[in-house]
Structure 1
Amino acid sequence: MTADVKKETLGFQTEAKQLLHLMIHSLYSNREIFLRELISNASDAIDKLRFAALADDKILEGQSDYQIRVEVDKEAATVTITDNGIGMNREEVIDNLGTIAKSGTAAFLASLTGDQKKDSQLIGQFGVGFYSAFIVAERVEVHTRKAGEPKEAGVLWESQGESEFSIGELPRDERGTSIRLFLKSDCTEFADDWRVRSVIKKYSDHISVPVLMLKQEAPGEHDESDDEAKPEAPTWETVNEATALWTRSRSDISDDEYKAFYQHVSHDFDEPLTWSHNRVEGKLEYTSLLYVPGRAPFDLWNRDASKGLKLYVQRTFIMDEAEQFLPLYLRFIRGVVDSNDLPLNVSREILQQHPSVDSMRSALTKRALDMLAKLAKSDADKYATFWREFGQVLKEGPAEDFANKEKIARLLRFATTHMDSETQDQSLDDYLGRLQEGQDKIYYVVAENFNTARRSPHLEVFRKRGIEVLLLSDRVDDWLMSHLQEFEGKKFQDVARGELDMEDASEEEKAEREKLQEESQALVERMKQSLSDEVADVRATARLTDSPACLVVGEFDMGAQMRRIMEAAGQPVPESKPTLEINPGHPLISLLDREQDEERFADLAHVVFEQALLAEGGQLKDPAAYVERLNKLLLKMSAAG
């Protein structure tokens, strides 16, 4: 078929070669998904033609009966998938089949571990698409022509999936694309009609385009008297449901069908954690099918990465990744929205201005949050998986979505001093259920990591009193708490910010604290003078029981965690100094108070400050100076001993 075609040989993009190699060697245990991927691509090509034809129906070339055909040839060991969709021209073939244009490819490849099982899951997240053909094929031919272009504009692409491919011109009567797979010797099972039918039913039953295969002659049907008659045209039959799944009634859809459709829209190998299927009628009419994935994609933290729902208007595909229907903190949600109110010629620009979109966005956001709340209530293990994968993204919500701040807050999970575990599984409702009598605040501490938070000196008085404190150690936590001021009428209080006002302190305790401050005034003034370049203030405190000192951020100053993040990003940071609070009852502070040598006093005061900084995970400005001071003090103590 291709002997007379004038071909040009080109090399694959480096990333494409790497991905091909990984697929061939990592996905051998799940080879049948190649058919799901190629049929899904064929369906997308038809969706794109439908949309393009809204503006110019001439590209249909008088044929609007959309279909996908799958043929098997057992003797030749081939499988051919043909669609009459949008097709491709030469440049598009090179772009789509010779390169991987998907953003984040480098980050994806860098995240691979070499472990075949783990890497196959990552490949599933990335979406293997056309390249999945090489899981089962030793050679692949693609014959295509873009809709609306002349028959002579047909293109033939061939490759053995190694380092290069060939491309040439080959006339094609029909628009669309045919992909022929020449199967490997250990993959000939996919040249069997019934095997292929079962795979189509398993993975592609929900695709709205009919998937056709040649009707098989049942045993005993063949009439030998007809052998010399003119052969009849082959009979094609539909082997899938061929109805858009979201348009069907929920009661008619099985869980397996929902899961298969998720894998179709997300190109994910894993099953979703949960989903929500809903039809809205009234002032607005639309259908939505939302999914929560079971695993975070490798590019989750790239806020510019592709995201959003598949948008249909009156069951006509409009665009992938319509990001206008959900806020950015829900960018992990996958699914479909099908509107009856938007115009068929809608564009991303029109979506930004159309009055229906804001209402749909508000309703879909609440539905997504309700779906998560339901999951948290019905399946703690699955919600724990969700939180592990997507919790930090959800924490962006209170800053971005004031209207749903309370809903989001109920979905947040934390480690706490009462659990003594890094596991973040305590809700704010759990915390409120354990409040001390008279406690009117929700206490929390923010640190660089869990161990630093758990061992923070700021917690000492709370442990003494049996008061629970939330332990926050995610990078986003300082920013989260700056936007989450209260929950159920209880204000949040950072235990490392401002002066500590214990709600349950007795009059005797308050009097004792005032006496402590008076008795320590001389020491406080000496330390202020020694540390004037490092701290805004020094004061005696009753919040410490075991530590000599701690650092406190001003009530309206930027937290230490946020400061470190901005500094690491090269962002300007407002000038501010912490307050050093000292524990006058600690032996080290008592030693400092008795020190008469001003040089030694200054050295010891700096060591107390620097140790307080280290205890909260901070960075010393001059580590060498700290070591020098500490060594000097140790030598003097040794000599005195």
Structure 2
Amino acid sequence: MTAKTQDKAETLGFQTEAKQLLHLMIHSLYSNKEIFLRELISNASDATDKLRVEALENSALYEDDGDLRIRIAVDEEAKTITISDNGIGMSRDEVISNLGTIARSGTSEFMKNLTGDQKKDSQLIGQFGVGFYSSFIVAERVVVETRRAGAAADEAIRWTCEGEADYQIENIDRAERGTSITLHVKSDEHEFASDWRLRSIVKKYSDHIAIPVEMVKQEMPAAPSEDDEVVADVDKAPEWQAVNDAQALWTRSRQDVSDDEYKEFYRLVSHDFAEPLAWSHNRVEGKQDYTSLLYIPGMAPMDLYQREASRGIKLYIKRTFIMDDAEQFMPMYLRFVKGVLDSADLPLNVSREILQKTPLVDSIRAALTKRVLDMLGKMATNEPEKYATFWTQFGPVLKEGPSEDHNNREKIAKLFRFASSTSDSAATDVSLTDYVSRMKEGQDKIYYLTGDSHSVINNSPYLEIFRKHGVEVILMSDRIDEWMMGYLTEFDGKSFQDIARGELDLSKITGEEPKADDADKKDGDDSDQDALLKRINTLLEGKVDEVRSTTRLTSSPACLVVGADDMGEQMRKIMAAAGQPVPEVKPILEINAEHPLVNKLNAETDDSKATLLASVLFDQAALSAGRPLENPAQFVQQLNSLMFDA
């Protein structure tokens, strides 16, 4: 950031990416221009909430003015709009940090996610906290004057920007705490410099804000008589009047709140431009006394997978704002939920540490968690298309649930959706309930397979025996799936089995006799096959833990299997990517003794050629399992050698 001093004002330059983003927002991003006022009112409301929080420990911050408000003044002749609040205000450093750098940590990610679709791109705004810059949609020049609560009058700051490459900042005197934003309206946007127009926008978007949004009262002048002298009372103070209802929406009866009001309130609490998928408004009375209004977003925020990012719902105590991100009331796997909790039972001087240890908090948390899961369950049953949208956005996060919430494990599992081996597409529309209802006679396990992508696992050799007998297999291609299955051990009384792990016995389904164990064989049984298994084991010494005949394959020559208690390939990749040590475990090689390549190996008398064949079989099986080859170049050479011999 560059700086130079001109008289009292200091000129600072936006960062390069911020310039690009600012230009984009001014000229093309917003399709609905009137939302600039909604964004500025929302920011002003946040400022008053922050003052309430800090004033809990230092009431002097109110400066003998505890009536919090937002005011909108319009000068129709000068074409200016001023939005003022008496909230927390900003210091010089906060002005530079909050107004001088757009989307501080996420500008690059924001730019990368732009699609060129104006409607879709506008939905990204709220995810980066850049709503203030919507001012430049209608303003050619923006002036911000602010003083932080508790600071001296001469510590106020003026920030001025014309939406170009730089902005000016200077110290001023300001008696009132809080912030005033003055918009000098563009010549082609004069429709917004209208008292009536601004009132209609406030009623449309901000009627539910729990703080008065005031404008100067408009009075119809009485018709003068011929004898009256018209005297202008220039010294008369303006009379301010609330434009909005200033009643917290969650305190109203559900029957009195329209869907549009619920949606607008969601935008206020979430700063998300997309509409919510669902919401639940509920009042609890009795041993506990609280009101909750919870929303399921329609779009995942950019920081969804940053578990350390701010999360949680807004906490109010007896309608007094306490905390913006009360994470104690929602488990981590539901961190996408937005909304408000207003309790009458928690003390006003609570801290985060006390909240975490209060049994009442645990009780409310359990009740809200159940409410969200029930809301999702109803959506999945009654609105499957809408639920498909939810699953696409938040499915991987919900999969964290079985490890975190043992009490709701079955309820969470019912919400999961997967791809299936019986489907022609990669659609994740199969629930575990659906799967269990279609299980074959004699089937007592839920079979599944994990892998890097749907196309890989859908064409995996592990599925061959299942497709032969029409047994459905759940296909899991999210990175989290194998880790999740370590905690989800059963569903509806049925245990899970990874078809690429351990022994496989489908005899109860197929009616075929299970393969006899080596210890049960009579002398001379399968002596040729046993000899082949031992030979391959010798040829691949050091690469495999065991070589055995397969019950999985019908058309492929070989596959790799991990032990029932060993770490699967997906978890090994996750640990390796995280820099964690990965245990060295040799796989089991299963061979299809009826395959021509295996027969060729069995008939090969030259040990060097037999070693070549065995090595190629092992590497092919590794590739099919999604394992990286230790020596890809050697594999290519060996394959070329076999092709020349053929």
Q: TM-score range by the shorter chain?
A: over 0.9
The one-letter amino acid of 1:556's match is D
Distance in 2 of aligned mates of 1:507 and 1:488: 24
Q: Which residue number corresponds to residue 259 of structure 1?
A: 263
Tell me which of 268, 273, 292 is aligned to 1:288. Answer: 292
The one-letter amino acid of 2:11's match is T
Q: Which residue number corresponds to residue 178 of structure 2?
A: 176
Per-residue deviation, 1:479:
0.6
Q: Deviations over 1:304-337 (max 9, x none)?
A: 2221111112211112112121111111111111
The one-letter amino acid of 1:386's match is F
Distance in 2 of aligned mates of 1:24 and 1:535: 63
Q: Deviations over 1:210-249 (max 9, x none)?
A: 111122344x745463621635432322111101111111
8 A contact 1:158–1:165 mirrored in 2: yes
Say whether 1:553 aligns with 2:562.
yes
Per-residue deviation, 1:542:
2.6
Distance in 2 of aligned mates of 1:478 and 1:434: 23
Task: Map 1:414-453 onto structure 2 (within 5 A).
Answer: 414-453=418-457
Distance in 2 of aligned mates of 1:546 and 1:226: 105
Distance in 2 of aligned mates of 1:320 and 1:200: 23
Per-residue deviation, 1:102:
5.2
8 A contact 1:440–1:503 mirrored in 2: no
1:272 is paired with a residue whose SS is: coil
Per-residue deviation, 1:16:
3.5
Per-residue deviation, 1:508:
5.2
Q: Which residue number corresponds to residue 627 of structure 1?
A: 636
| Range that drifts further, 437-446 or 145-154 | 145-154
Q: Which residue number corresponds to residue 52 of structure 2?
A: 50
Tell me which of 346, 349, 355 is aligned to 2:350. Answer: 346
1:228 is paired with a residue whose SS is: coil
Q: Which residue number corresponds to residue 459 of structure 1?
A: 463
Distance in 2 of aligned mates of 1:293 and 1:506: 45
Task: Map 1:188-227 onto structure 2 (within 5 A).
Answer: 188-218=190-220, 221-223=222-224, 225=228, 227=230
8 A contact 1:6–1:169 mirrored in 2: yes
Distance in 2 of aligned mates of 1:5 and 1:367: 59
Distance in 2 of aligned mates of 1:341 and 1:144: 36
Tell me which of 605, 618, 629 is aligned to 1:609. Answer: 618
Distance 1:396 1:26, change over 3 A: farther
Per-residue deviation, 1:462:
0.8
Tell me which of 107, 131, 134 is aligned to 1:132. Answer: 134
Q: Which residue number corresponds to residue 588 of structure 2?
A: 579
Distance 1:168 1:429, change over 3 A: same
Distance in 2 of aligned mates of 1:29 and 1:453: 43
Q: Which residue number corresponds to residue 3 of structure 2?
A: none
Q: Deviations over 1:163-205 (max 9, x none)?
A: 2211122222222111000112222111112221111111111
Q: Which residue number corresponds to residue 121 of structure 1?
A: 123
Distance in 2 of aligned mates of 1:149 and 1:215: 31
The one-letter amino acid of 2:545's match is A
Distance in 2 of aligned mates of 1:517 and 1:352: 64
Per-residue deviation, 1:512:
8.0
8 A contact 1:272–1:291 mirrored in 2: yes
| Range that drifts further, 409-418 or 615-624 | 615-624
Distance in 2 of aligned mates of 1:488 and 1:518: 43
8 A contact 2:441–2:509 mirrored in 1: no
1:299 is paired with a residue whose SS is: coil
| Range that drifts further, 202-211 or 566-575 | 566-575
The one-letter amino acid of 1:526's match is R
Q: How many positions carry a matched residue from both structures?
A: 633
The one-letter amino acid of 2:463's match is L
The one-letter amino acid of 2:446's match is I
| Range that drifts further, 481-490 or 84-93 | 84-93
2:375 is paired with a residue whose SS is: helix
8 A contact 1:17–1:163 mirrored in 2: yes
The one-letter amino acid of 2:121's match is D
Q: Which residue number corresponds to residue 480 of structure 1?
A: 484
Distance in 1 of aligned mates of 2:177 and 2:517: 85
Say whether 1:152 aligns with 2:161.
no
The one-letter amino acid of 1:155's match is I
Distance 1:235 1:5, change over 3 A: farther
The one-letter amino acid of 1:542's match is T
Say whether 1:234 aligns with 2:238.
yes
Distance 1:65 1:369, change over 3 A: same
8 A contact 2:124–2:273 mirrored in 1: no
Distance 1:7 1:502, change over 3 A: same
Per-residue deviation, 1:511:
6.0
Distance in 1 of aligned mates of 2:229 and 2:557: 102
2:311 is paired with a residue whose SS is: coil
Distance in 1 of aligned mates of 2:95 and 2:141: 17
Q: Which residue number corresponds to residue 605 of structure 2?
A: 596
Query: Taking structure 1 as the reference length, what is the TM-score of the superposition?
Result: 0.95
Per-residue deviation, 1:91:
2.4
8 A contact 2:292–2:342 mirrored in 1: yes
Distance 1:391 1:171, change over 3 A: same
Tell me which of 334, 356, 367 is aligned to 2:338. Answer: 334
| Range that drifts further, 564-573 or 501-510 | 501-510
Say whether 1:402 aligns with 2:411.
no
Distance 1:505 1:130, change over 3 A: closer
Q: Deviations over 1:22-64 (max 9, x none)?
A: 3113324122111111101111111122222233322222222
Per-residue deviation, 1:416:
0.5
Q: Which residue number corresponds to residue 356 of structure 1?
A: 360
Per-residue deviation, 1:568:
2.2
Q: Which residue number corresponds to residue 163 of structure 2?
A: 161
Per-residue deviation, 1:115:
5.0
Distance 1:519 1:138, change over 3 A: same
Aligned residues with identical type, % of pairs? 61
1:520 is paired with a residue whose SS is: helix
Distance 1:629 1:215, change over 3 A: same
Distance 1:493 1:223, change over 3 A: farther
Per-residue deviation, 1:71:
1.4
Distance in 1 of aligned mates of 2:25 and 2:123: 11
2:300 is paired with a residue whose SS is: coil
The one-letter amino acid of 1:177's match is T
Q: Which residue number corresponds to residue 506 of structure 2?
A: 502
| Range that drifts further, 267-276 or 294-303 | 294-303
Say whether 1:79 aligns with 2:57.
no
Distance in 2 of aligned mates of 1:380 and 1:226: 71
Distance 1:570 1:333, change over 3 A: same
- RMSD of aligned residue pairs (Cα, Å): 2.1
Q: Which residue number corresponds to residue 539 of structure 1?
A: 548
1:614 is paired with a residue whose SS is: helix
The one-letter amino acid of 1:583's match is N
8 A contact 1:103–1:305 mirrored in 2: no
Distance in 2 of aligned mates of 1:144 and 1:617: 59
* Structure 2 gaps, min length 5: 1-5
2:598 is paired with a residue whose SS is: helix
1:82 is paired with a residue whose SS is: strand
2:554 is paired with a residue whose SS is: coil
Distance in 1 of aligned mates of 2:508 and 2:487: 26
Distance in 2 of aligned mates of 1:469 and 1:597: 41
2:567 is paired with a residue whose SS is: coil
8 A contact 1:137–1:183 mirrored in 2: yes
Say whether 1:384 aligns with 2:388.
yes
Q: Deviations over 1:64-110 (max 9, x none)?
A: 22211111222212111011112222222222211247544443344
Distance in 2 of aligned mates of 1:212 and 1:192: 15
Distance in 1 of aligned mates of 2:350 and 2:383: 39
* Structure 1 gaps, min length 5: none
8 A contact 1:311–1:337 mirrored in 2: yes
Q: Deviations over 1:513-560 (max 9, x none)?
A: 988865410100000011122111110113211111111111000001
Task: Map 1:89-128 onto structure 2 (within 5 A).
Answer: 89-100=91-102, 103-128=105-130
